[in-house]
Structure 1
């Protein structure tokens, strides 16, 4: 009875929500240890929003699945359509309320995230441009977690949050470190590129070369952004002065990510079941994208995120990621 619900929720992707939230929290200046209660609430809120959104995705696609994917939980009768709508909406509302009541996250960002999830669920089949909305969902999740840190930091500094002529929320967002916005947008770009490449390969149709190049460029965007931050911020003088090679530590993370994307895109070209395996690799790679973001703050945690990716691939063998 539980397995159909786990399949509806694409539960094997859920840990990527946790890495998203944690990476944004740290980039915004939040402390990893001791663990702040708000981080726990943000993880729960993000989990409920993601899980509810995935369940609603199947509920909205029921007619298509009855024709093309009869093995899915709703068409097969394992989960009723009414139950899927009820549970999915309940989780979405619960996630939004938790974010609103128990965290300092920006209320407009929470609301925008909920609307983006619902919009994608309802319109991703008829509207090709919905891939951008899917990317926006991850950007908003990232920024929701980052925005929750700002009031805590300002309170600790006893700084009054005020910008003349701007509402309180906009003033709070103005204090968010640029790294949160940049890495959030980079994550969103990766998600858009992943979806575009998968759709192109699955259709097997002739694709405009420039469009294919653009989609693959989005997949490699996290590596390019991480490379820029690494090269511009590393203390290179440590190498010749002290023979300290610590500045080179981020390089393996970038190379791992590039190798992962290269392998997945080559695998996709085989078509058929290989496309699903490649998409699974790229979805697990979201944790590596977060590693590229968090390596600016904690190399040890970045290692943990990278090691999460192969564990997610193992989990995908039990519950499909797509």
Structure 2
């Protein structure tokens, strides 16, 4: 293999560590938070030509911030798991030797610091949320994921914090819309809990618990219809799609908790985050905005064919 080929292979390995397909799910969180903060009118005004595209700069910074935070966090996940992956998943970039642990540590650090710096361009509150997400992510990567009860909650807090980061586009609304973070927190608890069986297989009881939590998430989205600013009819088609994507996969993983079945359930669960975010966002900003957000799903699925999701 010549030098150019070796460099290309190395770059590809580091890109694999960042899990590009998953990053789009983090974008969906930001776009949902942006809608919940009542900022979609800015996008409409830009499209109508009544205001400058400069008005969307804060959204751009938040999307850049979540890219760095998410990518940095999953890179550190592989850094902390290097020894374990050498036994259970030797094909991964670090144990296979295609990426070095030191190089991954540098990459992850740059991404996390870059994410915090990007968030700071929006507001101090955004920067503080980015720091909190970074701490929660590193805590999960290093220790939280090994805790049966705290681990899923820890991971859920990372995703809930990401949604709040999107709402921080209008910081004054954080005190009114903070409860929306509970939806991704509960959902990620379900996905993280069921993911425990990816390598050696899971337990039927875990699958049942994940199904109950998924049902609670669907119910919570529907209950948002009681909010004066939420239009449930616009959200219903997206809720049905969300249920159709996750429930069959979770049921199958409950009936057959083998590693392969659970991996498929987790993959469906992660990618369906986009649909869940679209469902909630549609209620705040209309079905067209929800559909725009949903476009991220086929893009994420395409990337999932090239890069690992779990």
Scaled to the shorter chain, the TM-score interval is: 0.7 to 0.9
> Could you say which residue in structure 2 is the equivalent of 1:64?
84
Give TM-score scaled by structure 1 length: 0.81
Residue 168 of structure 1: aligned partner: none
Alpha-carbon distance, 1:85 to partner: 0.5
Larger Rg: 1
Residue 221 of structure 1 aligns with which residue?
Answer: 216
Per the normalisation by structure 2, the TM-score is 0.84
Task: State the distance in 2 between where 1:132 and 1:205 align.
Answer: 18
1:240-251 matches, cutoff 5 A: 248-251=233-236
Q: Contact between 1:110 and 1:144, CA under 8 Å: does it hold in 2?
A: yes
Return the alpha-carbon distance in structure 1 between the equivalents of residues 277 and 209 of structure 2: 22
Matched, 1:3 2:9: no
Q: How do residues 1-322 of structure 1 correspond to structure 2 at under 5 angstroms?
A: 1=9, 2-30=11-39, 31-33=42-44, 34=46, 35-100=55-120, 102-104=121-123, 106=125, 107-128=127-148, 129-150=150-171, 172=172, 175-176=173-174, 178=176, 180-199=177-196, 203-204=200-201, 206=203, 209=205, 212-230=207-225, 233=228, 248-268=233-253, 269-270=255-256, 271-296=258-283, 297-322=285-310
Give the drift of 1:110: 2.3
Q: Which stretch of structure 1 is more off in the superposition, 84-93 or 30-39?
A: 30-39
Give the whole-Å Cα distance in 1 for the aligned partners of 2:203 and 2:132. Answer: 36
Q: How many residues align?
A: 285
Q: Matched residue of 2:96: which SS?
A: coil
- SS of 1:319's equivalent in the other structure is coil
The 8 Å contact of residues 223 and 292 in structure 1, kept in 2 or not, is answered as no
Equivalent-residue separation in structure 1 for 2:162 and 2:219 (angstroms): 22
Change (3 A) 1:286 1:36: same
Shift of 1:205: 5.3
Give, in angstroms, the shift of residue 202 of structure 1: 5.7
1:289/1:273 Cα in 2 relative to 1: closer, same or farther (>3 Å)? Answer: same
Question: What is the alpha-carbon distance in structure 1 between the residues aligned to residue 84 and residue 164 of structure 2?
Answer: 33
The answer (yes or no) to whether the contact 1:183–1:293 under 8 Å persists in 2 is no
Q: Which runs of 5+ in 2 are unaligned?
A: 1-8, 47-54
Question: In proportion to residue count, which structure has more helix?
Answer: 2
Asked if the contact 2:218–2:239 (Cα under 8 Å) also holds between the matched residues in 1, the reply is yes
CA contact 1:65–1:75 (8 Å) conserved in 2: yes
Deviation at 1:201, TM superposition (A): 7.2
Instruction: State the match for 1:239 in structure 2.
Output: none
Q: Comparing 278-287 with 27-36, which one deviates more in the overlay?
A: 27-36
RMSD between aligned alpha carbons? Answer: 2.3
Aligned residue number for residue 157 of structure 1 = none
Report if aligned partners of 1:105, 1:145 keep a CA contact under 8 Å in 2.
no
